[in-house]
Homo-oligomer: A and B are copies of this chain.
Amino acid sequence: MENFGEEYKHYWETSMFFQTQELHSWGLNEALSGYYDSSSPDGGASSSVASKNIVSERNRRKKLNDRLFALRAVVPNISKMDKASIVKDAIEYIEHLHEQEKSIQGEITELEAGKQKHHPSYDHFQKELPVSLRSKKKRTEHLFADVSSRNFPIQVIELSVAYVREKTFVVSLTCSKRRDTIAKLCEVFESLQLKIISANITSFSSTLLKTAFIEVSLPVALIFIVYTTSLRIIVFRLTD
């Protein structure tokens, strides 16, 4: 059994040299990494359990090395070619990316959302409703407006929709004045592809009054759904 190990000795010495060479030319030829065959190289010897184990172990080592190498390739911060250093640099790089992402995300949400708190029952609603809408009508486009796509909910105090004539409505809306409330309202209106003829926004002490004179391009049925924590405007466009 241990004879196999001795017989392989010279073969693997040359192979080791080749691998050592590979170690210094990493990043160039990763793809053409052929793993070792489990058949014996001496041409007909019986493959014992030990030799299989050796080959398996070789493949395992090579796989790990190749991957460490590929890891090295995707990490820009190069310090040393050392295995442990590769992993260390990768960790630091991932942490750096995490921080970067977090800072960007935090900056965006901070700017958009201000300092208010997140409403817990919000995510559920946000996920459920669009599905039911899409499944009901085929030619209903993305007519689902969600003020809560980001930022915080709008507290609607009063809402009325007045029918003026075909395709024309007047929407009057009073809501709490919070951060980005105006922007969110406008976002909702514009996402519905309504034509806003004129809109007036007036700010009271802590409330906001918005009156919009809107015209829709097709005959629609406007349905305003008001939650205490958010405003959703759903337009059912009739299929023609």
Using a CB–CB cutoff of 8 Å, the interface residues on chain A facing chain B are: 60, 63-64, 67-68, 70-71, 74-75, 83-84, 87-88, 90-91, 93-95, 97-98, 100-101, 107-108, 110-112, 142, 145, 149, 179-187, 189-191, 195-203
Copies of this chain, complex-wide, total 2
Taking the closest CB of chain B, its distance from the CB of A154, in whole angstroms, is: 13
Given contacts A94-B94, A186-B186, A187-B183, contact A201 B203 (CB under 8 A): no
Give the residue of B74, B187, B189 whose beta carbon is less than 8 angstroms from that of A98.
B74
Task: Collect the chain B residues with CB atoms within 8 Å of residue A83's CB.
Answer: 64
With CB as the reference atom, state the residue of chain B lying closest to A149. B108
State A180–B63 Cα separation when bound (angstroms).
Answer: 50
Q: Verify A63–B84 contact, CB threshold 8 A.
A: yes
Known contacts A111-B142, A180-B191, A191-B112; A70/B84 CB under 8 A = no
Q: Which residue of B lies closest to A94 (CB)?
A: B74
Q: Which of B67, B180, B200 contacts A199 (CB 8 A)?
A: B200
